[in-house]
Amino acid sequence: MAPQNLKAMAGTRRAKIGSFLVEFNTPGIGQICQAAGCDFALVDMEHSGFGIETIKSVLRYMQAADLPTIVRTPSRNYHHIARALDMGAEGIMLPMVGSAEEAREIVAHVKYPPQGHRGVALQVAHDRYAPGPVLGKLRAANRRTTVFAQIETKTGLANCEAIAAVRGVDCLWIGHFDLSASLGIAGQFEHADFKAAMAKVGRACRKHKKAFGRLVPDVKSGIAMYKAGFDFLCYSGDAWILQSAMQEGIGALRAKCKGGRAGPR
């Protein structure tokens, strides 16, 4: 298992394996993910429809399971980033980061002064409602919060090395569907241009000692991605895992229950 802290995880090349939540916000979800062996969870606000109240609840479920959690915000705007952090997100993932300037602005939104300009609200969800010395809390939060910058546009790809060089960015994360669409080869993940794009981002991560992540749809793809240099692997997602398992089981039952005679009623 990877170290149970996102900042520590980002500092090692060991495989960190988690899953993606876009649909289920049941109180047991953190325990379910933790029992399944997840090192982290990635909770989506960009495409899921989860609002800030839902995120606040989900983060308490994850906290109860001691499962480090990344929240993907719906934008790079300060109010989205700061509210997710105040609700207790340990990591923040930002969509469509296009330049070093954008990355520096994101880091400033995430960090308290003097490293940034995040607004201060204490004894709320992010510090578990506990009292304590203010400066100590701000320093601890600045050390702990972890930034995942998504590379999913032509512009972000062109500037990936400069983004990786930004202090405070911990991981570059390929947004594979959006990146392929931006390259004009939507969904063609075996295309030479897409493979070259992944390799370019991987080189930037290695050069600047940053973690490298992406979603993986299945085990075979995940193994290939790890061998290609990815170390944060987010295995599928809640809705797709359920649908796949259900489809497999129902399909097998249907195949074996055809044409035979049912037992007595």
CA 226 distance to own-chain centroid: 16
Across all residues in the chain, what is the average pLDDT?
Answer: 95
Report whether 84 contacts 55 (CB < 8 A): yes
d(CA 3, CA 125): 23
> Which tokens is 235 given?
């295995």
**Active-site choice (47, 79, 80, 126):** 47
Which architecture does CATH list for 6-256? Answer: Alpha-Beta Barrel (3.20)
Strands (E), the chain: 16-21, 40-44, 69-72, 91-94, 146-151, 171-174, 211-216, 232-237
Closest CA to 19 of 29, 33, 32, 9: 33
117 given a catalytic annotation? no
pLDDT at position 2: 45
Question: pTM of this prediction?
Answer: 0.94
Give the pLDDT score at 1: 45
Mean pLDDT lowest among 34-38, 228-232, 254-258: 254-258
